[in-house]
Amino acid sequence: MDRDHNQNSGRLRKLLTRASRSQAVVGIALLLPAFTFFAVFIIYPILHAVWLSFQDLYLMRGIDSIEPYGFGNFRRFFADPRWTLYVRNTVIWTFGSVVGEVGLGLLLALLLNRRIPFRPVWRGIVILPWLMPPVVVAIVWRWILDGEWGILNYVLMNLGIIQSRISWLTNRSTMWISILVISWWKSIPFSFVNLLAGLQMIPEELYEAAIVDGASLWHRFRMITLPLLRPVLVVVTLLMTIWRSHDFNLLWALTRGGPGGQSTTLAILSYRVGFEFYRVAYGASIGVLLMAFMLVFTGVYMRRIRLDI
């Protein structure tokens, strides 16, 4: 009996070992294409960019003129009298966009999570800007905000709100708020959809119990909604911060970093230096700096939030 049992369990172990081995082989074989793709198109470019940032490659001197340059590119960046402007712009663009997008997205999600008439229609309308390509958004808004023939000036002047035309996207005092409003308009749907999904996961009974206990609307929001929405809020904020920090399309199509470099972020600077000024390695080093800033930010953010991922 014992011998039979031992024989059976030994056979079973062998079968399981063989099965798990073949399962592992098949698993690796099926993963290989994805891993190869990841290694070739994600890992290698990142490593190459980091390597390139320590070289000197100026295409005007020829594509073969590459040579080691140590920290020269980074020293060059911090020696540029405008580096603080570029960093400041990156901070304004990144956090200005994210705060508005997440804040307004949350507001809309709270509003459209309530039972209001035509709720599906309102939800559909909110998502509409997401469907438009960033370049189209930029072109449309550039026309709306143009200082000479923009429709916003026309409307505001006819309403008597402004007396003379304003060049919204180039005037130093209106430039950033105009850019940010466009960014909010374009990107709110992402935070809205995610936060709405998060809100729908919160059990209705909790609110019912809180109402029975006499909790106010504000208390229900602060004590139930916010804590239970926190995981979604944290992930949405983190993702949007990372995306926005190196976002290029919308800002480039709106202002091309102008006027006079006043809206140039690190992402735009990296592109211009690398691809317009032929200083490929210097451009890569600015990209690496941006990546380093974002790694530090993400580390600090995750530590402060203490989110277990």
Chain length of the chain: 309
Is 88 among the residues that bind another protein (CB under 8 A)? no
Which are the contacts of 263, defined by CB distance < 8 A and separation ≥ 6?
89, 93, 175, 176, 179, 251, 254, 255, 257
Among 147, 185, 237, 305, binds another protein (CB under 8 A): 147
| Stretch of residues binding another protein (CB under 8 A), selected from 40-48, 55-63, 98-106, 182-190 | 55-63
Is 2 among the residues that bind another protein (CB under 8 A)? no
Distance CA 137, CA 184 (A): 12
- Residue among 15 and 155 whose Cβ is closer to another protein: 15
Is 255 among the residues that bind another protein (CB under 8 A)? yes
Distance CA 46, CA 278 (A): 20
Phi and psi at 53, nearest 5°, equal -70, -15
Shortest distance, position 24 Cβ to another protein, whole Å? 9
**DSSP-derived 3-state class of residue 149:** coil
Among 1, 34, 60, 121, binds another protein (CB under 8 A): 60
Of residues 152-191, those binding another protein (CB under 8 A): 165, 167, 169-171
User: What are residue 68's DSSP bridge partners?
Assistant: 55
Is 62 among the residues that bind another protein (CB under 8 A)? yes
Q: How deeply is 262 buried, as exposed, middle or buried, from its count of CB atoms within 10 A (0-12, 13-18, 19+)?
A: middle
Whose CA is closest to 106, among 191, 186, 200, 221?
191
- Residue among 129 and 259 whose Cβ is closer to another protein: 259
Among 10, 15, 47, 162, binds another protein (CB under 8 A): 15
> What are the residues binding another protein (CB under 8 A)?
15-16, 18-23, 26, 30, 33, 59-63, 142, 146-149, 165, 167, 169-171, 255-256, 258-261, 272, 275-278
